């Protein structure tokens, strides 16, 4: 009887073993990545967020692209020349193909750039290439002729871009997700559905194979990619992970190889147990409190703004509240920008005691006493993190005798309150779009509209920032921008709190994920250890 069963089972067992063996021999390597949120769109010209960009960089490749450590490296453009006046860029394109087999041509890039500024596309990011000649007039509708854009296909392999003014960071800008090339033929064939699996034609290392909104998005290696033989990971599955603590659990359960973020409340646990799998590195962003300069008394009295700035103990805040290795911020432009000397607020050199003493003295000087305290309201939008910080700052301000209240608003209401300048002090954050100080400094120009929600207006500052755009000498230009930030920090329309860091959990098996300030990591440069 036993024997019979064994005979019966044996072939089955052997077959199962064979199948298993076959699978391990050519096992697909799959990267499971937590991607924060469901992408709003895969259309590069219509998207705005980081989760979208993370996917788009896998699918599409621009003229220039990222090295693993974040440097600008040749992408579809193999090499380029820049004219002496810095206004004309000539790109020479390598032989490469779209996933449908068509060649990638200079015309594709012209199409893409025109599509970005075309008012009919209604791209949020149309202004990102305002530096290109004609772009501004086209996107605001004064120039209806798209061909007036300074982008021209000399031949299939040569693309000439003319700028309105010298733009030293232009090559970096060309990596922005909104200028990733799209395939005209596929867009014409499926105007509303070209981003769906089966329709989407891409030129990057991966192609879109499956997409279940709110569950997962799957990409497979693109055999037509020019560097396909160097791409090691066969399949990418990106998951929207809105709940950070659940994402963290999924990582620990082995369901994810990389997380989008790590909850700051879990830092103690991470430090104790998963230190080797945690990657914490500077990010091009600043968390700050913006002050409404159109409201009294803070608007007119710089002393009061300084007192508030002095009283915030950034080191304690970062150490005890945010806990993720953020850098205490004493400047507006974050560190890590090549060629730019960081500027700091004057009181950075004072120790904690001296700062508090100075803050108290400033308040007293302006007539604020315990009987007549300065009253401040802090506005923030719903989020655990913002709340914790506001509560901590409220108590730090209380220590110098400032009576602070905290107001929480739902996201869109909060945005409205901020942009209508109905607040007194509001939490805010800014992440740079490209590696240049202007991505921070231009938003506080007096004519920057609602973006300048402090209502900051200093002609000296405006002049320096605007003149820097015309300066062709990169070193001189940086000097001008440094001077501008120095003026800005002396005026204190904002209180810098900390510079962001990225907080990823990364599987020890994953190789090739290197930290960089823009925090883009392309799977084509990664692999798995055995």
Partner 1 sequence: MLHYFLKRLGGAIPTLFIIITGSFFMIRLAPGGPFDRERVVPPDIMKNLLKAYHLDEPLWQQFVRYLEGLAHGDLGPSFKYKDFTVAQLIAQGFPTSLTLGTIAMIAALSIGLTLGVWAALRQNSAVDYTAMGTSMLGIAIPNFVIAPMLTLVFGLILGWLPVGGWGHPTNYVLPVVALCLPQIAAISRLTRASMIEVLGSNFVRTARAKGMPERITITRHAIRAALLPVVSYLGPAIAQIITGSVVVEQIFGIPGIGRYFVQSSLNRDYTMVMGVTIFYGALVIFCNLIADLLYGVLDPKVRYD
Partner 2 sequence: MADVTLPPGAAGVVEVKGRSLWADARHRFLKNKAAVVGLVVLVLIAIACFGAPYFGLRSQDDINWDMIQAPPDFAQGYYFGTDSNGRDVFVRTLYGGQVSLTVGIVSTLVSLVIGTLYGATAGFIGGRVDGAMMRFVDMLYSIPFIFFVILLTVYFGREIVYMYVAIGAVNWLDMARIVRGQTLSIKRKEYIEAAHASGVSSWRIITRHIIPNCLGPVVVYMTLTVPVVILTESFISFLGMGVQEPQSSWGTLVAEGSGNLEIAPWQVYGPGSVLAITLLALNFVGDGLRDALDPKDR
- To partner 2, the closest distance from the beta carbon of 410 in angstroms equals 5
Beta carbon of residue 374, minimum distance to partner 2 (angstroms, whole number):
18
What contacts 24+ positions apart, CB below 8 Å, involve 205-209? 205/58, 205/61, 205/231, 205/522, 205/523, 205/524, 206/58, 206/59, 206/231, 206/236, 206/523, 206/524, 207/59, 207/99, 208/42, 208/59
Two tokens, residue 75 = 């992408």
> Smaller CB distance to partner 1: residue 178 or 343?
178
215 in contact with partner 1 (CB under 8 A): yes
Distance, in Å, from the CA atom of 202 to the CA atom of 207, rounded to the nearest integer, reads 6
User: Which residues between 66 and 105 bind partner 1 (CB under 8 A)?
Assistant: none
Q: State the binding partner of 316 from partner 2, partner 1, none, CB within 5 to 8 A by kind.
A: partner 2
What residues line the site for partner 2 (CB under 8 A)?
A: 244-245, 263, 265-266, 268-269, 316, 320-321, 381-382, 384, 387-388, 390-392, 394-395, 405-410, 413-414
Site membership for partner 1, residue 190 (CB under 8 A): no
| Cβ-Cβ contacts under 8 Å for 15 (sequence gap 6 or more) | none
145 sits near partner 1 (criterion: CB under 8 A) = no
Q: Which is nearer to partner 1, 167 or 241 (CB)?
A: 241
Minimum distance, C-beta of residue 183 to partner 1, in the bound complex (Å): 16
Which residue, 246 or 467, has its beta carbon nearer to partner 1? Answer: 246
Least Cβ distance, residue 455 to partner 1 (angstroms): 13
Token pair in block for residue 70: 């974040």
The beta-carbon contacts of 457-460 under 8 Å, at least 24 apart in sequence, are 457/293, 458/487, 458/488, 458/491, 460/487
Report the partner that residue 395 touches, choosing among partner 1, partner 2, none (CB closer than 5 to 8 A by kind).
Answer: partner 2
40 binds, among partner 1, partner 2, none (CB under 5 to 8 A by kind): partner 1
Q: Which of 97, 157, 232, 252 binds partner 1 (CB under 8 A)?
A: 252
Report the distance separating Cα 38 and Cα 17, nearest Å: 39
Which CB atom, from 70 or from 240, has the smaller least distance to partner 1?
A: 240
Going by C-alpha positions, the residue among 24, 46, 47 that lies closest to residue 37 is 47
Structure tokens at 250: 């999924």
Stretch that binds partner 1, among 245-253, 356-364, 366-374, 480-488 (CB under 8 A): 245-253
CA distances from 65 to 68, 69, 177, 238, 460 (A): 10, 11, 10, 21, 36
Contact status: 466 vs partner 1 (CB under 8 A): no
Q: Is 451 in the site for partner 1 (CB under 8 A)?
A: yes
Contact between 126 and partner 1 (CB under 8 A)? Answer: yes
Query: Rule CB under 8 A: which of 407-426 touch partner 1?
Result: 410-413, 415-416, 419
Residue 232 exposed, middle or buried by CB count within 10 Å (0-12, 13-18, 19+): middle
327-328 vs 510-511, strand pairing mode: unpaired
Tally the C-alpha atoms within 13 A of residue 213's C-alpha that lie toward its C-beta: 6
Classify strands 403-409 and 151-155 as parallel, antiparallel or unpaired.
unpaired
User: Residues near 187 by Cβ (< 8 Å), separated by ≥ 6?
Assistant: 194
Q: Which does 139 bind (CB under 5 to 8 A by kind): partner 1, partner 2, none?
A: partner 1
Of 109 and 414, nearer to partner 2 (C-beta) is 414
Contacts within 8 Å (CB) and 24+ apart, 428-431? 428/287, 428/288, 428/289, 428/290, 428/453, 428/494, 429/285, 429/286, 429/287, 429/288, 429/500, 430/285, 430/286, 430/288, 431/283, 431/284, 431/285, 431/500
Contacted entry of partner 2, partner 1, none for residue 137, CB cut-off 5 to 8 Å set by kind: none
For position 429 contacting partner 1 by CB under 8 A, the verdict is: yes
Q: How far is the CB of 510 from partner 1 (least distance, A)?
A: 19
Q: Which of 31, 43, 54, 393 binds partner 1 (CB under 8 A)?
A: 43
Least gap, CB of 196 to partner 1 (angstroms): 7
Query: Based on CB atoms, which residue is closest to partner 2, 6 or 320?
Result: 320
Q: Is 243 in the site for partner 1 (CB under 8 A)?
A: yes
Residue 228 token pair: 């396909």
Q: Which does 269 bind (CB under 5 to 8 A by kind): partner 1, partner 2, none?
A: partner 2
Does position 317 bind partner 1 by CB under 8 A? no
Residue 297 falls in which region: left (phi positive, over 0), alpha (psi -120 to 50) or beta? alpha
| Among 46-54, 483-491, 511-519, 521-529, the segment contacting partner 1 (CB under 8 A) | 46-54
User: What are the φ and ψ backbone dihedral angles of 259, each rounded to 5 degrees?
Assistant: -105, 160
Q: Which does 41 bind (CB under 5 to 8 A by kind): partner 2, partner 1, none?
A: partner 1
Is 386 near partner 1 (CB under 8 A)? Answer: no
Closest distance of CB 51 from partner 1, Å = 12
Pattern 2-41, binding to partner 1, x per CB under 8 A? ------------------------------------x-xx
Are the C-beta atoms of 279 and 513 separated by less than 8 Å?
yes
Q: Is residue 263 a contact partner of residue 505, using CB atoms and an 8 Å limit?
A: no
Residues contacting 374, CB < 8 A, separation 6+: 297, 304, 307, 363, 368, 401, 402, 403
Minimum CB distance to partner 2 smaller for 245 or for 349: 245
Query: Do the Cβ atoms of 342 and 381 come closer than 8 Å?
Result: no
Q: Which one-letter DSSP state was computed for residue 326?
A: P
Contacted by 392, from partner 2, partner 1, none: CB < 5 to 8 Å by type: partner 2
What sign results for the dihedral spanned by CA atoms 485, 486, 491, 496?
A: positive
Residues in contact with partner 1 by CB under 8 A are: 38, 40-43, 46-48, 119-124, 126-127, 139-141, 193, 195-196, 212-216, 239-243, 245-246, 249-250, 252-253, 255, 410-413, 415-416, 419, 428-430, 449-451, 453
């Amino acid at each position: 009887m036993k024997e019979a069963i064994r005979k019966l089972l044996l072939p089955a067992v052997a077959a199962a073993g064979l199948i298993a063996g076959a699978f391990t021999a050519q096992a697909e390597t799959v990267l499971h990545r937590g991607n924060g949120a469901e992408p709003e769109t895969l259309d590069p010209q219509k998207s705005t967020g980081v989760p979208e960009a993370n996917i788009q960089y896998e699918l599409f490749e621009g003229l220039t692209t990222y090295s693993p450590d974040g440097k600008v490296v040749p992408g579809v453009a193999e090499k380029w020349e820049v004219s002496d006046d810095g206004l004309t860029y000539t790109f020479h394109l390598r032989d490469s193909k779209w996933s449908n087999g068509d060649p990638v041509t200079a015309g594709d890039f012209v199409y893409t750039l025109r599509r970005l500024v075309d008012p009919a596309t209604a791209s949020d990011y149309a202004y990102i290439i305002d530096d290109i000649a004609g772009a501004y007039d086209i996107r605001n509708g004064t120039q209806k002729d798209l061909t007036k854009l300074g982008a021209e296909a000399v031949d299939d392999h040569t693309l000439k871009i003319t700028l309105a003014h010298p733009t030293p960071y232009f090559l970096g800008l060309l990596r922005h997700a909104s200028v990733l090339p799209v395939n005209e033929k596929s867009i014409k064939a499926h105007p509303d559905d070209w981003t769906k699996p089966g329709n989407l034609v891409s030129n990057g290392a991966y192609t879109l194979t499956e997409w279940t909104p709110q569950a997962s998005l799957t990409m497979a290696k693109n055999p037509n990619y020019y560097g396909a033989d160097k791409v090691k990971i066969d399949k990418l599955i990106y998951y929207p992970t809105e709940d950070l603590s659940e994402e963290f659990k999924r990582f620990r359960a082995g369901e994810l190889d990389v997380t989008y973020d790590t909850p700051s409340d879990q830092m103690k646990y991470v430090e104790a147990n998963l230190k080797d799998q945690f990657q914490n590195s500077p990010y091009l962003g600043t968390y700050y409190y913006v002050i409404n300069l159109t409201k009294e008394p803070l608007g007119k009295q710089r002393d009061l703004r300084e007192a508030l700035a002095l009283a915030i103990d950034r080191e304690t805040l970062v150490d005890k509240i945010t806990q993720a290795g953020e850098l205490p911020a004493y400047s507006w432009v974050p560190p890590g920008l090549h060629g730019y000397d960081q500027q700091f607020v004057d009181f950075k050199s004072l120790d904690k005691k001296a700062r508090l003493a100075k803050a108290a003295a400033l308040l007293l000087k302006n007539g604020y006493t315990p009987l007549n305290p300065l009253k401040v309201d802090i506005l923030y939008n719903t989020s655990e993190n913002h709340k914790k910080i506001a509560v901590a700052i409220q108590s730090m301000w209380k220590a110098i005798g400032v009576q602070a209240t905290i107001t929480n608003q739902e996201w869109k209401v909060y945005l409205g309150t901020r942009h209508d300048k109905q607040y007194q002090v509001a939490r805010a954050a800014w992440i740079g779009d490209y590696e240049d100080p202007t991505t921070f400094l231009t938003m506080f120009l007096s004519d920057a509209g609602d973006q300048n929600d402090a209502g900051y207006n200093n002609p000296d500052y405006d002049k320096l920032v605007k003149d820097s755009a015309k300066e062709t000498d990169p070193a001189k230009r940086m000097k001008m921008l440094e001077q501008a930030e120095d003026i800005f920090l002396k005026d204190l329309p904002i209180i810098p709190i900390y510079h962001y860091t990225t907080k990823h959990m990364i599987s020890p098996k994953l190789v090739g994920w290197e930290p960089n300030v823009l925090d883009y990591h392309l799977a084509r440069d990664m692999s798995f250890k055995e």
